[in-house]
Amino acid sequence: MPEGDTVFQLARRLRPALDGHTITRGELRVAALADVRLAGLTVLGHDTHGKHLLTRLSGELTLHTHLKMTGSWTITRPGRQLPRRLLPDVRVLLALASGTTAYGILLPVVELVPTAREADVIGHLGPDPLRADWDSLEGVARLAADPARPLVAALLDQRNLAGLGNLWVNELSFLRGHSPWTPVGEVDLAATVKLAARALRYSATTPGAMQVTTGNTRPGEQHWVAGRAGEPCRRCGTTIQVVAEVPGDPERRRTWWCPHCQPGPRPDR
């Protein structure tokens, strides 16, 4: 799932292929930027904030992209081409003097902004555990600002903490022993934020650990509750429950939980 750890690893994969290289053909295949050409610019580096990718270019420009649920990046080596069937899905094309080409495919968000104004597109985000400027106290304070808000909704809000997606907030709620609908005012937020940061960093930086929450990397054994509706809880054997996502409501995503291990409020059906 495209969460903060996914994008962090993506940036790490793009850096050796793109950073420091000159663009010989650069196209942004979205209506608002269709006439922009990036040829002649140099890729200076990549940074991330939560689920947002920042590709910094010479000329004091930043390419801002977001994967959401459909996007991906593919890199082809010199002499290789993207399969023809995928070409209509390309939203960003960066061909480099080295012969490498990077393709951003089905990216829902593609923006070009002055580097000095990156805050226009990411300034609303909360602190990110994967960044050097991570501030856990700020994260706790933002979560605590609305004590009646359900835990899962508060953790999903990128204005509180940047980088946690639906998989992580469901797994964190289980690991902390809280119903997903527990008001954040009843939660030890410092401990929850500490666990979230540790888990996201481990996932992003440990080979083979990407989004493995149980410590077991075998297929089907990687998660405690997420994606396991109708299956027995790995701790107590109680059947894992799920409520469906409410379309158009970002605070009511599909949610999994164990009724025994996560006592507390139940969803308002």
Quick one: tokens of 220?
Answer: 């089907």
Spatial CA neighbour of 183 closest among 220, 222, 148: 148
The yes-or-no answer on residue 267 being catalytic is: no
The yes-or-no answer on residue 2 being catalytic is: yes
CA 123 from centre of chain = 16
Contact call for residues 180 and 257 (beta carbons, < 8 A): yes
Cα Rg, the chain, nearest whole Å = 20
* DSSP per position, 181-205: T-BGGGS-HHHHHHHHHHHHHHHHH
Tell me which of 2, 259, 265, 267 is the catalytic residue. 2
What phi, psi does 11 have (nearest 5°)?
Answer: -60, -40
Tell me which of 3, 129, 150, 171 is the catalytic residue. 3
User: DSSP 3-state assignment of 255?
Assistant: strand
Tell me which of 27, 51, 129, 171 is the catalytic residue. 51
Tell me which of 56, 142, 252, 253 is the catalytic residue. 252
Q: How far is the C-alpha of 13 from the C-alpha of 30, rounded, in Å?
A: 24
Identity (one letter) of the amino acid at 177?
G
The length of the chain is 269
Element (H, E) at 111: strand 109-114
Contact call for residues 1 and 18 (beta carbons, < 8 A): no
Spatial CA neighbour of 182 closest among 160, 152, 158, 156: 152
Which residues participate in catalysis according to the annotation? 2-3, 51, 252
